[in-house]
Chains A and B, each alone.
Chain A
């Protein structure tokens, strides 16, 4: 019976797979990717082909002029530098602060441990606007507005609970017997952790670091509220100010968008598999 059914499936497969599988898949991809493709196409069109009532789908005279003017006439290099510093700072700061807490939750059993885990997972679900308003007031009185530090602190509100949650999971997946055998050889608890568990967890920790980097790289709300000048404005704020000043310059906007997304996309491809666990638990923000 089984072979017969398979033969039957084989006959209908070509047509069926096309209609039941490839066609819907292509339609989904079209919906998801067309806006991005259109953005890339717009970014290489000369202004005369962008602002026209008779749209041509492909550029007749492709150009890189928008990309050039991003860096020549606009302070895009400064935005880029700020984003780089803020994102790396936020990722390192939060990871360092979170590692020992994650280790505690993963390796010890004690009263209140469940509550701690619950906090790690749900602290991120507080509305951003709830934190935004008091943080602004606090940063203002500490004179931290328009500095990298303000953003690094603001991003740690998301990143610290996230790190704690993710690292706990990663440490859980490394058998604690490994550390115990290290302790038999004379290591203390701390040394066993640093020598044995940390190296094993390093790739996953790097992925966590990168995820926070991407989050900070893309973040807009805190950034637009706490930054005022080129001293600290990050790429998303730079992009948003672009639309304020150059309402009709879609070439420049799309080029800026393409340049700012490339790092996030490339980095994410590397860490995707590490994020699935955090994704299904709800730690990764949608």
Chain B
């Protein structure tokens, strides 16, 4: 090969083998990111294609002065914190139940992943239909049970819309959490429980003092991953509420997408996406730290 000796070949060939994937990554990921950075310093609107030009930090300054930006940042924090928090609690519960051998556990493990495997578009529409004010199942059941006395338009009220999209996100993300925690639980040695029982630990004490500490690394890794995915997520909120009513469910990722899509102001929307990236980078760095510690990387 190219007249190289065998040891020289061994030195060069791993880099040559990397080449196809690296060229592709450079073209489809690195170059677009560079373009996004450049656009974020430009006035770049598809409505006014003649006026494209550099405006320095203009788009960033605009973001800092934009009330909706701050609102969507706050909403992102609430949305991510609540969604991931409930996914963890419910996912842990489900994982604990699945960890006990039963007739249903294999079947459940297969079935529980369905919410996560179906298209996000369908997930959004399913819940829109369930939350439908007049013909939706949720109002119907709550009325029959006497919990509600009148129909609620869950997705078009500022005080309920956020809870509704969080519930949907929990539904979609919980199986993933459960599956990861289950993998962690299966690695907990039995004699730890044995020892705890000898010491007179009851069920919940075992959970708190044995199970949770042992699977803590899995909990942390999974939580970080879910924060990243949830903050990135656009489909559900965009298709359920478009960030509304008002801006009550507007999160940063959806706001960025909608700025590009409806106002065609790509410069501003690129700046917003850079903000999102910087915030997420912090979480990604934490994740890399964990991954190194656990030997994933």
Question: Least Cβ distance of B207 to chain A in Å?
Answer: 12
Interface string of A23-64 (1 = CB under 8 A from B): 011001101110110110010000000111101000000000
Query: Hey, which chain B residues are within 8 Å of A42, CB to CB?
Result: 129
Whether A250 and B20, one on each chain, are in contact in the complex, defined by CB atoms closer than 8 angstroms, is no
- Interface assignment of A133: CB less than 8 Å from any CB of chain B: yes
Q: Which residues of chain B come closer than 8 Å to A104, judged between CB atoms?
A: 13-15, 17-18
Q: Mark B227-243, 1 if CB is under 8 A from A, else 0.
A: 01101101100010000
Chain A contacts for B287, CB-based, 8 A: 122, 125, 282
Query: Within the assembled complex, what's the spacing in Å between the Cα atoms of A130 and B271?
Result: 9
Asked whether, in the complex, the Cβ of A264 is within 8 Å of the Cβ of B140, the reply is no
A: number of interface residues (CB 8 Å):
92
Contacts of B25 in A (CB 8 A): 119, 123, 160-161
Chain B residues in 8 Å Cβ range of A110: 11, 14-15
> Would you call B205 an interface residue if the criterion is a C-beta within 8 Å of the partner chain's C-beta atoms?
no
Q: Does A243 contact B (CB under 8 A)?
A: yes
B104 and A286 form a contact (CB under 8 A): no
CB<8 Å pairs between A and B, sample of 20 = A25-B98, A25-B104, A32-B115, A32-B171, A32-B175, A35-B115, A35-B127, A35-B171, A98-B21, A101-B19, A101-B20, A104-B14, A121-B291, A123-B29, A125-B284, A127-B273, A130-B276, A134-B35, A157-B28, A279-B180
Name the B residues within 8 Å of A148 (CB-CB): none
Does A77 reach chain B (CB closer than 8 Å)?
A: no
The reply to whether A97 and B121 form a contact with Cβ atoms under 8 Å apart is: no
- Residue A78 CB within 8 A of the other chain: no
B11 contacts across to A, CB distance below 8 A? 110
Q: How far is the CA of A120 from the CA of B242 in the complex (A)?
A: 32
Q: Say whether A76 faces chain B, with CB atoms less than 8 Å apart.
A: no
User: A133 touches which one: B18, B226, B273 (CB < 8 A)?
Assistant: B273
| Distance in angstroms between the alpha carbons of A221 and B119 in the assembled complex | 11
**Known contacts A50-B135, A138-B35, A157 near B29 by CB under 8 Å:** yes
Is A173 part of the binding interface, using a Cβ–Cβ cutoff of 8 Å?
Answer: no
When the two chains form their complex, are residues B135 and A240 in contact, meaning their CB atoms are under 8 A apart? no
Report if B147 contacts A (CB, 8 A).
no
User: Is there an interface contact between A36 and B126, defined as CB atoms closer than 8 Å?
Assistant: yes
